[in-house]
A and B are shown apart, each in its own frame.
Chain A
Amino acid sequence: MLPAMVPEPDDISLMLRYRAGDVSAFETLYRRHKGPLYRYFLRQCRDGQAAADLFQDVWSNIIRARESYRPTARFTTFMYQIAHNCLVDHFRRQGSRLEDPAADPPDHADETPGPEALVMATEVTLFFRRALDRLPALQREAFLLREEADLSLADIALVTGTSEETVKSRLRYALKKLRTIVAAEDVA
């Protein structure tokens, strides 16, 4: 006899349970979102320590805000709004802004990947990683929010404080650049 399928509790009910004092609900919530959130920071900053610090900041904010949490929107939207704000602050501390070209990463074309990366990654993924790194920060952010957090265009617009059309535009440019860079690398 097959065991009965127990539906996973949704994010909002987990957060409300944690607000009521249930730490196990927080652990479930954390396990569910820790990977995407960590990668969102890691691929924006390309610095493991900075990503870890920002990651911890976001969760600390969530822990502090649990008392005032109101389930008016998806939990992921709520969490990535905090993450976006943390990232903006991070760039500001570095003397740049998310919108500025200065926030864009340096060209990593000459960086030599480590032996482990060479074993694990195919040539295409290597090209794609380079292409992603070369994207402007705002376009990369829109792409990452779609890929990692599975947010809709409207939610991405909400998180980044822009319009849905702007998000569409950023994604169009991001896709085009990724395709072009990967193709160019492949030819080279």
Chain B
Amino acid sequence: MSEPHSDRELEQYLAGRSPASRNYAALGAEEPPATLDARIVEEARAAVQSKHPASRSPLWWLRPVTLAATVLLSLTLVLRLTEFGSRRELARTGAEIPAPGEEPSVPVTVLPPQESDNAALKEEPAPPARQMKLAPPRAPAPKSAEPNKTVEEVVVTSRKPREEKLRGTPLAITAFDDKANEGAAELSASPGTLGHETMVRIEKEIESRLAGAKPEMASPAETRLREIQALQKSAAEVEVADALVQFAHDFPDDPISTLVRLPAE
């Protein structure tokens, strides 16, 4: 245990107010001999001159290269994990996962959900610039409202976020007017649905009927049949069937109409 006097003396000493420090300073300030100074400085210079050029390790490049490699690997890992997470999310939501770098597929015609039973997906030639015909959503219109007679076409520029990529799923939607939709629904629901064989037979009948007829002398029925023939070459069977049903309504006595079994009214 220290005495209080010793503590005070130590405090004064540490504060630089001790006679011991003054007496020590009075002892003088001896210095090393000049020859020793020169020897030590020379040693320091020689050490630098002899070792400094070789001081760089032969593996000096290892550190920056290691750092760069670590950064690169980390970045790659992060990107991989991000991609993996996105693919898992897509898989969880049920969407097909696009192969890396794969572009969305060719647009096709898709009927609205109401006709999905009867609507086969049909491929169409790809329009330029990845455009899609999109049917306007059928709003639940009041029953008294007039059916929409016009075909609305909405051109949508394809823009697919990563999460919406659907590989191999054609993405083009053609709009149908309400009448066509209803007709298709009737055909699918009625016993008078035209089968493929019937359609082929009607097609031959129309062909033979119009073979000898001159367009300028054509009757209204023949004019309609020419339109139907044109439809047969370019449009879907559903549309042809619809046109034939309409033809049978308008020209019930025509031989072609007998081939078309009208739905029960």
* Residues of A near any B CB (own CB < 8 A): 18, 21, 23, 26-27, 30, 34-35, 38-39, 42, 52, 55-56, 59-60, 63-64, 66-67, 120-122, 124-125, 128-129, 132, 143, 146-147, 153, 168-169, 171-172, 175-176, 178-179, 182
Contact = CB atoms under 8 A, between A and B. Distances in A.
Secondary structure call for the A interface: helix
Given A35-B30, A125-B27, A179-B9, 20 more contacts: A23-B41, A23-B48, A27-B41, A30-B44, A35-B29, A35-B32, A52-B32, A55-B36, A60-B43, A63-B44, A67-B51, A121-B27, A122-B26, A128-B20, A128-B23, A128-B26, A132-B27, A175-B10, A175-B13, A182-B23
B2 interface: yes
A128 B24 CA distance: 7
A172 B3 CA distance: 9
Given A52-B33, A172-B9, A175-B9, A21 B52 contact: yes
Interface of B: 2, 6-7, 9-10, 13-14, 18-21, 23-33, 36-37, 39-41, 43-45, 47-48, 51-52, 55
Contacts of A182: 23
Contacts, number: 101
Contacts of B10: 168, 171-172, 175
Contacts of B23: 124-125, 128, 178, 182
A23 B44 contact: yes
18 contacts: A21-B48, A23-B48, A26-B48, A42-B30, A52-B36, A55-B32, A56-B39, A59-B40, A59-B43, A120-B28, A125-B27, A128-B23, A132-B24, A172-B6, A172-B7, A178-B23, A179-B9, A179-B20
**Interface residues of B: mostly helix, strand, loop or mixed?**
helix
Nearest to B25: A147
Nearest to B37: A34
A182 B44 CA distance: 42
B39 A175 contact: no
A172 B32 CA distance: 30
Contacts of A128: 20, 23-24, 26-27
A23 B7 contact: no
B245 to A, nearest CB: 94
A132 B20 CA distance: 10
Contacts of B28: 120-121
A39 B7 contact: no
A147 B27 CA distance: 12
A26 B44 contact: yes
B20 A175 contact: yes
Contacts of A34: 31-32, 37
Contacts of A176: 6, 9
Contacts of B20: 128, 143, 175, 178-179
Enumerate the 9 nearest inter-chain pairs by beta-carbon distance, A residue then B residue, closest first.
A128-B23, A172-B6, A38-B32, A125-B26, A26-B44, A21-B52, A59-B40, A23-B45, A63-B47
A30 B13 contact: no
A67 B57 CA distance: 12
A21 B32 CA distance: 25
Given A172-B6, A172-B10, A175-B9, A38 B26 contact: no
Contacts of A38: 30-32
Nearest to A124: B23
A70 to B, nearest CB: 16
